[in-house]
Amino acid sequence: MKERAYQLCRVTAMNLLARREHSKKELLRKLILRDFDEQTVGQVLSDLIQENLLSDRRFAEAFVRSRISKGQGPLRIRRDLSERGVADELIADYVNGRQWLTLAIDVRQKRFGNELPEGYKECARQMRFLQYRGFDGEQISGAMKQDGWQDPPANPISRE
């Protein structure tokens, strides 16, 4: 009976992994939600890691690549990876050293066009958009200053 539960759990895990990469924490949660006992799930996950079929490193790489293609910034990506149980060292490996300013500029231009905002209200709106996407203050400021744009208002995000 125990062997059958193990096999069923492993097949379920493999089916989930066939669709996309998962972090260990995600896969654990999904298998527990499918009513597999924790001991069986733990053994299946250990075996999958041992066989290199489950890898937080591969998951982090695919996740970051996917989120960058969606125009998300480093703060949001870090938070989402952390929520999925990826170690801080892995997060740093895949998030640090990227051209976030370039991405922030591209995301702003894709959403609002090449022209920089004229007034305070529009500038604040574009800055809030970039903040929501997960860019930090320096990247937002850089995206708003490109092409000779003067300094944006002091902190338009906090004002109404």
Tell me the pLDDT tens digit for each residue of 100-139. Answer: 999 999 999 999 998 888 889 999 999 999 999 999 999 9
Q: Which residue has the higher pLDDT, 146 or 101?
A: 101
**8 Å CB contact between 74 and 101:** no
Tell me the pLDDT tens digit for each residue of 9-55. Answer: 999 999 999 999 999 999 999 999 999 999 999 999 999 999 999 99
pLDDT attached to residue 2 = 86
Q: What is the CA radius of gyration of the chain?
A: 21
Ordered structural domains, the chain, with CATH: 2-50 (1.10.10), 56-95 (1.10.10), 100-145 (1.10.10)
Local confidence band at 149 (pLDDT 50, 70, 90 cut-offs): very low
pLDDT attached to residue 116 = 85
At residue 8, does pLDDT exceed 90? yes
At residue 155, does pLDDT exceed 70? no
* Spatial separation of the C-alpha atoms in residues 104 and 96, rounded to whole Å: 15
pLDDT attached to residue 158 = 46
Longest distance between any two alpha carbons in the chain, whole Å: 71
How open is the CA angle 106-109-113, to the nearest 5 degrees? 160
- Over residues 145-157, mean pLDDT: 52
